[in-house]
Structure 1
């Protein structure tokens, strides 16, 4: 019996599939972008795309609207919101974030208290060196940019960051627009590091290096013990979402 046969005969899998809501069929033929007074809007057969809360999906840049339009063009027989990461991010930036801008910013900034880049391994030596090589420049940039000290820790024991450090990160994050903040939130939660997210947004580090920096420990373990197929599939899914958020930040900062 093949793996596919086993999966097909799995009653739990069948039950889960039955519980999934059916995806809506693609109902449109043409996807276009049009400049209007409220911004650049995405049109489906001439009808304006709306957010889930029925707000007009209007964006400040034609390039960003085109990127969102490409996600709608990429839907074939059905519309799968699960793969339309950029659409989800801009929907959030238009609808959800503006009403809770400070609250969302504070959630993002709170990652500074347990930031990935501040927790270094105490061994083996090669891992310690790799973390210092990849994380060190971003950590140094953050200290210089924020004008404050970030405490490093070794191992898993928690370390408390100075109050002025947390305040500086909070102030930096609150300056982002709602669209930028929606993307910054995605990058921060996926990488576990607001420092990486801020460096990416500032152009200090590119998307490829940011994603690699977020997986230094994971890649180290994979080199030692081999890759787990399921973990890699999950990572690829998260990477697609990360890359969409990184693109939103790049377009808005250009």
Structure 2
């Protein structure tokens, strides 16, 4: 299951340009000394030696609606050493991706979250071993109940991996729950959806039905079960730690931007 989720995340990153393959790429040298945050009528921007930051591809000026997002971006720019390493700048990469995607991508981003919700991690259950079955029921049923009650919808979990269609009315109501979401938080929600394998968990987080830690725990029920059985794998834990950084950055975008 985890391999499938990682493949899905790669698909999202490739499809929307949210992540770049940075291995074996010569890193540019740092060309600035002073990093600041500037405010304008449009929002907040990062400046490097007084010049507003632009996206690396389309060279679009980067303006964000929340001061906290701009401050995090500025911290990432300031933390660069002799070379600029985008792999160490998750907020910058997320925001650049949103800006370069453009407002026209909003319907597709909404559709991506709902597509996951219709074939969600939380809806496909194991039949053995009993310890995993019990843990999935305890954690995932709790999440489904919160979402079902909040949106007045019904879910149809199934055992195994054969596709189980969800009620059309459920998916319509979940899509309505994304109405009014702007480009940047929607980009972050797509990231959260891919990182967790769950559109349902992304919606639960958006509407504050679950905390970020609860969402992260629910997304790793299967993986945590394997760790209890076989112990931690160093490479797997390193990948998980990197995903958690991406997850936390996306969470840091969703609520502040909507509050703004």
TM-score by length of 2: 0.85
> Is the aligned partner of 1:240 residue 2:245?
yes
Counterpart in 2 of 1:84? 89
CA distance in 2, matches of 1:44, 1:162: 50
Q: How does 1:127-142 map to 2 (within 5 A)?
A: 127-142=132-147
Q: Please, which of 50, 55, 71 is the counterpart of residue 51 of structure 1?
A: 55
Deviates more, 1:21-30 or 1:139-148: 139-148
Q: Residues 189, 97 of structure 1: CA spacing in aligned structure 2 closer, same or farther, 3 A cutoff?
A: farther
> Is the aligned partner of 1:22 residue 2:26?
yes
Q: How does 1:171-210 map to 2 (within 5 A)?
A: 171-210=176-215
Q: How does 1:73-112 map to 2 (within 5 A)?
A: 73-112=78-117
Q: How does 1:149-168 map to 2 (within 5 A)?
A: 149-168=154-173
Structure number with greater CO (CA < 8 Å, separation at least 6) is: 2
> Is the aligned partner of 1:38 residue 2:33?
no
SS in 2 for 1:128: helix
CA distance in 2, matches of 1:203, 1:169: 15
Displacement of 1:62 in angstroms is 1.4
Counterpart in 1 of 2:7? none
Structure 2: which 5+ runs fail to align? 1-22
Displacement of 1:36 in angstroms is 0.9
CA distance in 1, matches of 2:27, 2:113: 31
Contact 2:147/2:209 (<8 A) preserved:
no
Displacement of 1:96 in angstroms is 0.4
Structure ID, larger Rg: 1
**Alignment: residue pair count:** 236
TM-score by length of 1: 0.87
Displacement of 1:97 in angstroms is 4.2
Displacement of 1:46 in angstroms is 0.6
SS in 2 for 1:103: helix
Displacement of 1:93 in angstroms is 2.3
SS in 1 for 2:84: coil
RMSD of aligned C-alpha atoms? 1.6
Displacement of 1:178 in angstroms is 0.6
Displacement of 1:79 in angstroms is 0.9
